[in-house]
Structure 1
Amino acid sequence: MPDRSFLDWPFLEQRHRDWAERLEAWCAANLPVDHGDVDAACRDLVAKLGKAGILEPTALDTTAPGPLDVRTLCIARETLARHDGLADFAFAMQGLGTGAISLFGSDQQRNWLRKTRKGEAISAFALSEPRSGSDVANMDMTARRDGGDFILSGEKTWISNGGIADIYTVIARTGEAPGAKGLSAFLVPADTPGLKIAERIEVVAPHPLASLSFQDVRVPASAMIGKPGDGFRIAMSVLDVFRSTVGAAALGFARRALDESIARASSRQLFGAPLFDLQMVQGHLADMALDVDAAALLVYRAAWAKDMGAPRVTREAAMAKLYATDRAQEVIDKAVQIHGGDGVRRGHIVESLYREIRALRIYEGASDVQKVVIARQLERDPEKRASVFGKDRAPTRR
C-alpha cells in the first residue's frame, strides 16, 4: 500500500482527499489495461475515464465556470501513473489539449469541452516543430490571413495523441511582430482538409505520437483562440498550469517503484536473510523515500500556489517538474537494481516504469531548459520574486 500521508499536508483540502479515494477505487478496479494496441487502448481509456467522471477536472465546466484546480489534476496524474502510465497519458492529454480553450477560448470553442470532459472527443496540443522544440519563439509554421479565414501551412512533430485526436490546439506564426510576439493559437478539428498524419512515432514507452502536416489548412477566423499575437502567452499559460502535473506523474511512477522495491526487499532471500537486511539496500530505500517526499513537497507547493491565485508560478512549476522527473529517474533506477534480473525483464512493472519515466524529463520543457527558466527567474528583482503572490500580497482562494 503506498504512503498516503501526503494527503494530510496543509497544501490539500478534504475535497482533494475525497478525490484521491475515489480515484484509487476506480484505478484498482480498472487498471492496468492491455497496451498491445496503443491507439485502441488510449481511445478506450479516454471513454472509460470520461464515463466515470474522472476527466471533469481537465477542462472548465461551461455550466459552472471556475479556474482549473491544479492540485486535483496533480492527484489524478500521480494516482493514475502509479497504476498505469498509459492511463496517466490519456488523462493528461485531455487537459493539455484543451488548456488553451479552457483559459482563453470563446463560448463557441468551449462547446468542445463538454465532449472532452465526457471522453467523447480526444484532444491534442500541437506546439513542437522539427526545428523548434523547447524554443517555441523560433516556430516556422505559418497562419496566413485570407479574407475571413486563416490558411495554416507547416509541420508539427512529437504530438501526443497525434493520429487519434479529434481536435488540435495549434500554435502558428501570424506575424504581428518578430519572435514570440508574432504567434497565435488556433482550434483545428482533425477532419479539416489538408491536415494529415505525416508519420507515426514509436517510442520506448508506447504512446500515440505523430508528426502532422498542414498543407494549406483553411480555418475560419473564429478558430483563433484569444487575440492575434497571443499564441506564445497562451502556450506559456497552459504550461504554467500543466507543468506541475508532469512532476506529479513522475511522483506516481517513483512511488510505485518504491513500493515494489520495499516488497521485493522484504520477500527476497539472500545469504540466508531478507534482502532488506543488507545495509546497502536500506540505504537505497532511504534515498528513494527521501526523493519521493521532496518531490511531492515541490509538486504540491507549486500546485497550491497556482490554486491560491498566484498570477504565475513559472519558477515553482519548473522546480517541481525538474526535481520530480530527475529524481524519479534515480528512484526507478535503484528499483531496477534491487530487482536484479527481473528489473530488466520485459513485462515486469519495474521495467515498464524504467521506460515510462525517461520521456518526462524531455516533454513540456526538458530538464536543462527548466534550469534555464529557474535561473532567469532568480535574476529578476528580488522583491518581485520573493513571493509568487507579489509584494505585500497574501494567498487568496479563487
Structure 2
Amino acid sequence: MPDQDFLRWPFLEDTHRDFAAHVEEWAGRHAEALTDHGDAEASTRALARAMGEAGLLDAAVPPGGRLDVRKLCLARDILARHSGLADFAFAMQGLGTGAITLFGPPEVREAVLPGARAGTSLAAFALSEPEAGSDAAALATAAVRDGADWRISGEKTWISNGAIAGSILLFARTGEAPGARGLSAFWLPGDAEGLSVAERIEVAAPHPLARLRLDGVRVPDAHRIGAPGEGFKVAMAVLDVFRATVGAAALGFARRGLDLLLDRASGRQLFGATLFDQQMTQAAIADAAVSVEASALLVYRAAWLKDGGRPRVSREASMAKLHATEAAFRVADACQQIHGGLGVVRDSAPELLAREVRALRVYEGASEIQRVVIARAERDRRAG
C-alpha cells in the first residue's frame, strides 16, 4: 500500500486528495500495462491518449486556463512511482502547452489545447540547442521577418516528443536586444513545412527525444506567443510552474526505490536472519525515508506557494528540484546496492529505476544551475 500520509498535509485541499485518488486508481490499472520500454514513441502515444480519456490531462492542460501546480505535482509523484514513461507523457502535455495556456492568443489556444488535453496530439517544448542548454540566452536559432510572417532557421536538440509532436512551442532569436532580451516564442505544428527530424536520440531510460532542423519554417505572426523579445520571460514563466513538478517526479521515483528497498530487505535471508536485520541495511532504509519526506515537503511547499499567488517561486522550485532529484539518485543507488547482483541486471526494477532517475538531475535546469539560482536568491533576499 503506497504511503498516503502526505495527502493529509495542510499544503493540500480536498480537491487535491480526490484528484490523487483518481490518478492512483488509473495508474494502478494502466500505467505499467501501457508502458513498453522497447517502443517509447508508441508507449507515449498510448499513455497520453489513455490519460486524456480518463480526464487526467485536464490538470496538465486545464480547460479554465489556470494551472494548479499541486495537481501537477501529485500526478507526477504518483505516475513516476508506477511508470517513468507515464510520468513523461503527462508532463510533456503540460510543459509543451504551458506557454499557450498562460500567454497564447485565442486562435492558438483553440488550435492546440483541445487535442493536447485529449491526448490525441502530443506536445513539445523546443528550447535547447547543440550549443545552448542551460544558457538559454545563447540560442542561435533565428526568426526573421518575412512580410506578415516569420521565417525560422536553426537546430534544436534534446527535444522530448520532437519526432512525434503535433504541436511545438519553439524559442528563436528575433534580435530586439542582445542575449536573453532578443528571444521570442512561437507555436508551430509538428508537420510544418521546412521542419525535419535530424536524429532520434537514444538515451539510458527510453524516451522519445529528437534533434530537429528548421529550414526557413514560415510561422504567421499570429502564432507568436507573447511580445517580440519576451521569449525568455515566457520560457522562465513556464519553467517556474513546471520545475517543482520535476522534483515531484523524482519524489515518485524515490518512493518506488524505498518500496523496493523494504521488500528486498524484508524478504532476503542472510546469515540466518533477514537482510533488514543488518544495521547498515536499516541505515540505508532510514536515509531513503528521510530523503522521501524532505523532498515531499519541499515539492509541495513550492507548489502551494505558486498556487497561493506568489508571482515567482524560482528559489523554492529550484530547492525542490535540486533536493528531490539528488535524493532520488541516492535512493536508487542504495536500492541497487541492497539488491546485490540483481541490482545491475538489465531491466531489473532497481536497474531501470537508476536509469530513469539519472536524467532528472540534468533536464529543466541541471543541479549545478539550481545551485546558482538558489545562491543568487539567498544573496538577493539578504540584500533586499
- TM bucket (normalised to shorter chain) is over 0.9
C-alpha distance 300-383 of structure 1, shift in aligned 2 (>3 A): farther
Task: Please name the residue that 2:129 is paired with.
Answer: 129
Q: Distance in 2 between matches of 1:19 and 1:50?
A: 14
Structure 1 position 54, deviation (Å): 0.7
Which residue number in structure 1 is paired with residue 224 of structure 2?
224
Q: Distance in 2 between matches of 1:200 and 1:280?
A: 43
Aligned equivalent of 2:103? 104
C-alpha contact (below 8 Å) 1:70/1:306 kept by paired residues: yes
Deviations 1:300-348 (A, max 9, x none): 0000000000000000000000000001100110011111111111221
Does the CA contact (< 8 Å) of 1:141 and 1:172 recur in 2?
A: yes
1:40 to 39, 42, 45: 42
Alpha-carbon shift at residue 59 of structure 1 (Å):
1.7
Q: Could you tell me how far 1:67 is from its partner in structure 2?
A: 1.9
Q: CA deviation at 1:242?
A: 0.2
State the secondary structure of the residue aligned to 2:371. Answer: helix
Superposed displacement of residue 35, structure 1: 2.0
Aligned partner of 2:58 in structure 1 is: 56
Other-structure match for 2:86: 87
1:1-398 aligned at under 5 Å gives the runs 1-32=1-32, 33-61=35-63, 65-111=64-110, 112-382=112-382
Output the CA distance in 2 between the equivalents of 1:349 and 1:320. 25
Q: Is the 8 A contact 2:38 2:206 kept in 1?
A: no
Aligned partners of 1:179, 1:141: CA distance in 2, in Å?
13
Q: Distance in 1 between matches of 2:175 and 2:185?
A: 12
Counterpart of 1:184 in 2: which secondary structure?
A: strand
Q: Deviations over 1:227-281 (max 9, x none)?
A: 1111000000000000000000000000000011101111111011111111110
TM-score by length of 2: 0.98
Measured in 1, the distance between the counterparts of 2:195 and 2:75 equals 32
Gaps of 5+ in 1: 385-398
**Contact 2:198/2:212, CA 8 A, preserved across alignment:** yes
Question: One-letter code of the match for 1:56?
Answer: D
Contact 1:166 1:190 (8 Å CA) reproduced: yes
- Specify the code of the residue in structure 1 equivalent to 2:313: V
One-letter code of the match for 1:116? A
Rounded Cα–Cα distance in structure 2 between residues aligned with 1:325 and 1:347: 21
Q: Counterpart of 1:26 in structure 2: which amino acid?
A: W
CA distance in 2, matches of 1:161, 1:72: 22
Question: C-alpha distance in 2, partners of 1:87/1:312?
Answer: 28
Amino acid at match of 1:75: L
CA distance in 2, matches of 1:256, 1:264: 12
% same residue: 60
Change (3 A) 1:202 1:21: same
SS in 2 for 1:227: coil
Q: Distance in 2 between matches of 1:284 and 1:194?
A: 53
RMSD over aligned CA atoms reads: 0.9
Match of 1:396 in 2: none
| TM-score normalised per structure 1 | 0.94
| Amino acid in the other structure paired with 2:50 | K
Shift of 1:114: 1.0
Q: Residues of 1 paired with 2:99 and 2:21: CA distance?
A: 29
CA contact (8 A) 1:2 1:256 kept: no
SS state at 1:340 partner: helix
1:36 deviates by 1.8
Q: Do 2:141 and 2:154's aligned partners in 1 also have CA atoms closer than 8 Å?
A: yes
Distance 1:2 1:383 in 2: 43
Shifted more, 289-298 versus 29-38: the winner is: 29-38
Instruction: Report the residue type matching 2:48 in the other structure.
Output: V
SS at match of 1:380: helix
Gaps of 5+ in 2: none
